[in-house]
Structure 1
Amino acid sequence: LKASTRTLGALMLMGRRGAFDAAASRVLGVLANQAAAALSTIQMKDRIKDLAMRDGLTGLYNRRAFDDELRRAFGREDRQHGRLALVLLDIDHFKKLNDTFGHPAGDAVLRHTARVVEQHLRRGDQAARFGGEEFAIILPGTSEAGTVRLAERVRDAVEKAQLVFDGARLSVTVSLGAAVWPADGKDEESLIAAADRALYAAKQAGRNRAALASGLPPPAPSFAPTI
């Protein structure tokens, strides 16, 4: 089965009376072409769908795909009475890197960080570009201890990885904030907020470190203004 110059597969048929005659061969040829066209269309649709879910610079899932995957992960873990962790990661001093070396260097740092993160994910984990220089990692079925280990492994790997851009060696570090459901948040929104608070704490503590939401004081309650 071929579409243009691409081979999609093979169709094997056997007749009970031996070889097919010319008329049957023509019919089978038409059917094979139709099958190849249908397969090519399906593959193209899948490719377009995948591209729509990807960040064009890093190749990771984009924010929309992240939101969808987090929602699905919540549903799975809730049904199985499991656990779910979320890690938010921010590149330290990214604006300074951009201002000093230029936006192409900033893009190289984003791609570099995305590759390092992907290399340290386990089967089933999902990474996404959350926005700007921030990334998110969804960790299904992961305990607090397991989340700490992965976050520290990613942090250490980014710090040790070598990145040379236009002859200059760039020093890249990241800060990470982690939260675990259901202890740190009852739904997607509150889990993201908890991980974001932990990320802020990591940056306030000096950057290039990971912080857990469970180690922070509870957020101050918000009250609606009275009139």
Structure 2
Amino acid sequence: MTTMLDAPAAAFHVSTELPPVLAGLLPCVLQRDGDLLAVKDLRTGLWVHANEAMALTLGMPLLDLLGHSDADIFEPGVATVLRAAEHTALAHGEPLTSEHRFEIHGQRREFSVLRWPSPARSDGQRWLCSVWRDLAPERQREAQLRAALEQIEQQQRANELLQRELADQALRDPASGLYRRAHFDDQLRREVDLSTREHREFAIVFLSIDPPTAQARALGAPGRQRVFEAIGRLLRGGTRAMDASCVYDDSRFAVLLSGVGLATAHARMEGLRRKCAAQIVVHEGQDLGFTVSMGVASFPHTAQSQDELVAACEAALGEAVRRGGNHVTLAAIRFDGA
């Protein structure tokens, strides 16, 4: 048995033409890195050398490995795969690395195996040296890195969402939850440009709250805020994602209805007017019933420019107020050469 252990070391010294001190250093290096070492006699296919790490991994006494073949040590399917990898390494003629996955004592293991066939001696003796590296720590590090990267990506997405929410909140009126006038003006400019290029219609609406009753006025600013909140809910629930509902100034709201004609806009706003009139808003035990007046204008039928459109809508709202409120008025349609 001593001869079997010494033979591969001697062969390693001769075949590699390395000083004995370097050949003797190899097991120490492998032991430090935790790699597994096995040397096989290519003529017999028997293991002639292995280190303690290999024996511990396979769960066998070291001496039980020596003098046995892969078929004695591994499951038949595993032995077949290892034998095929050895043939590939022999045909390659140079150190060759391959990866193997199989179970050892019911545990799934993964190894990177570097195989190096020694040159033949004068008597034809050859050995196959294989260094096995357990990939579990590397795979664990990769999994930890992926998890860390996913966590960073999730945090970035959360930060981006928070930034968008904060930016969106800055654009909204806190009482009604509707956008401020700056957003409405921006959307209106875009819609005028889109309508001009694609020859399509859209409408805008100005809405004002009719004068409150004496009882509602007595509740002051808190009561007015409750009414604003109610109108905000009604406008958000009664408009589409492509529309824009905004607080236009201290007394008026504005709605942009994208791709909607004058008749459709009137019908939708008439429905909103009825909902406002029927809305129950309670503050300090009192019902703050309210009504609204609305003016509706469309582009390009009632105006040919943004300024004209706003002026036409304001005029229609003024007419609704003059009629006593709780009314929806349409802007006049142009009948000129345009």
Could you tell me the TM-score, scaled by structure 2's length?
0.55
Cα deviation for residue 79 of structure 1 reads 2.2
1:130 aligns with: 248
Q: Which string of whole-angstrom CA distances, capped at 9 and with x for unpartnered residues, describes residues 40-84 of structure 1?
A: 221122112211221111111111111111112222222221001
Whose RCO is larger (CA < 8 A, sep 6+)? 1
Unaligned runs of 5+ in 1: 1-15, 217-227
1:110 aligns with: 228
Cα deviation for residue 25 of structure 1 reads 2.5
2:166 aligns with: 48
2:292 aligns with: 174
Contact 2:204 2:256 in 1 (8 A): yes
Q: How far apart are the structure 2 equivalents of 1:39 and 1:117?
A: 30
Matched, 1:155 2:270: no
Matched, 1:83 2:201: yes
Q: Which string of whole-angstrom CA distances, capped at 9 and with x for unpartnered residues, describes residues 180-226 of structure 1?
A: 1112222222211110011011101111101111179xxxxxxxxxx
Q: How far apart are the structure 1 equivalents of 2:314 and 2:192?
A: 18
Aligned-pair identity in percent equals 28
Q: Quick one: which of 253, 262, 269 aligns to 1:144?
A: 262
Q: Which string of whole-angstrom CA distances, capped at 9 and with x for unpartnered residues, describes residues 120-169 of structure 1?
A: 22453221111113111101111121121012111111001111211111
CA 1:185 to 1:215, structure 2 compared with 1: closer, same or farther past 3 Å?
A: closer
Q: How far apart are the structure 1 equivalents of 2:169 and 2:156?
A: 20
Cα deviation for residue 119 of structure 1 reads 2.4
AA partner of residue 153 (structure 2): A
2:79 aligns with: none
Q: How far apart are the structure 1 equivalents of 2:209 and 2:302?
A: 23
CA 1:120 to 1:27, structure 2 compared with 1: closer, same or farther past 3 Å?
A: closer
Q: Which moved more, 1:36-45 or 1:143-152?
A: 36-45
Contact 2:203 2:262 in 1 (8 A): yes
Matched, 1:204 2:299: no
Q: How far apart are the structure 1 equivalents of 2:178 and 2:308?
A: 23
Contact 2:216 2:288 in 1 (8 A): no
2:154 aligns with: 36
AA partner of residue 69 (structure 1): Q
Q: How far apart are the structure 2 equivalents of 1:125 and 1:31?
A: 38
CA 1:146 to 1:102, structure 2 compared with 1: closer, same or farther past 3 Å?
A: same
2:190 aligns with: 72
Q: Quick one: which of 60, 65, 76 aligns to 2:178?
A: 60
Secondary structure of 2:332's aligned partner: helix
Unaligned runs of 5+ in 2: 1-99, 102-109, 111-135
CA 1:123 to 1:35, structure 2 compared with 1: closer, same or farther past 3 Å?
A: closer
Could you tell me the TM-score, scaled by structure 1's length?
0.80
Q: Which runs of 4+ in 1 moved over 4 A?
A: 16-20, 94-98
Contact 1:94 1:106 in 2 (8 A): no
Aligned length: 202
